[in-house]
Amino acid sequence: MTDLMPPPSYLTFDRTARRLRLDPHEPAFFRDPYEAYAWLHDASNAFFWEEFGFWCFGGFDDVNRLLRDRRFGRQNPAGIPDSRGIGQDRTHLKAFDGIEANSMLELEPPVHTRLRTLVNRAFVSRQVERLRPRVEALANELIDRFDPASPVDLLPAFAAPLPITIIAEMLGVPVEMGPQLLDWSHQMVAMYMHGRTRETEDTANRASREFSDFLRGYVTERRKKPGDDLLSPLISAQEDGQKLSEDELVSSAILLLNAGHEATVHQTGNAVRSILAQGGDPRRFFTSPEATAATVEECLRFDAPLHMFTRYAYQEIELAPGIVVQPGQTIGLLLGMANHDPKAFANPSAFSPGREDQKNVSFGAGIHFCIGAPLARLELQVSLKTLFGRHPRLHLAEQPRFRDTYHFHGLEALFVQF
Please report, in tens digits, the pLDDT of each residue of the chain (418 residues total): 446 789 999 999 999 999 999 999 999 999 999 999 999 999 999 999 999 999 999 999 999 999 999 999 998 876 655 544 445 678 899 999 999 888 888 889 988 998 888 888 777 778 889 999 999 999 999 999 999 899 999 999 999 999 999 998 988 888 898 889 889 988 998 888 788 899 999 999 999 999 999 999 988 888 888 888 878 877 876 555 677 888 988 898 888 887 777 889 999 999 999 999 999 999 999 999 999 999 999 999 999 999 999 999 999 999 989 999 999 999 999 999 999 999 999 999 999 999 999 999 999 999 999 998 999 999 999 999 999 999 999 999 999 999 999 988 999 999 999 9
Instruction: Tell me if 285 is assigned to some domain.
Output: yes
Contact 229, 127 (CB under 8 A): no
Instruction: Tell me if 238 is assigned to some domain.
Output: yes
Residue 82's domain spans which residues? 12-417
Residue 241 has a pLDDT of 64
Instruction: Tell me if 17 is assigned to some domain.
Output: yes
Residue 1 has a pLDDT of 44
Instruction: Tell me if 3 is assigned to some domain.
Output: no
Half-sphere exposure of 266 (CA within 13 A, CB side): 23
- Helix-strand-coil percent breakdown of the chain, rounded to 5? 50, 10, 40
- CA dist 86 and 369 (Å) reads 29
Please, which residues bridge with residue 313 across strands? 72
- CA dist 378 and 373 (Å) reads 9
Instruction: Tell me if 215 is assigned to some domain.
Output: yes
CA distances from 187 to 179, 180, 182 (A): 12, 11, 9
Span between the terminal Cα atoms of the chain, in Å: 48
Instruction: Tell me if 389 is assigned to some domain.
Output: yes
Kind plus residue range of the DSSP H or E element containing 166: helix 161-171
Instruction: Tell me if 207 is assigned to some domain.
Output: yes
- CA dist 116 and 258 (Å) reads 16
Instruction: Tell me if 7 is assigned to some domain.
Output: no
Phi, psi of 13 (to 5 degrees): -140, 125
| CATH code for the domain of 166 | 1.10.630.10
Phi, psi of 402 (to 5 degrees): -85, 145
- CA dist 347 and 127 (Å) reads 36
Contact 30, 409 (CB under 8 A): yes
- CA dist 193 and 84 (Å) reads 10
Total domains in the fold of the chain: 1
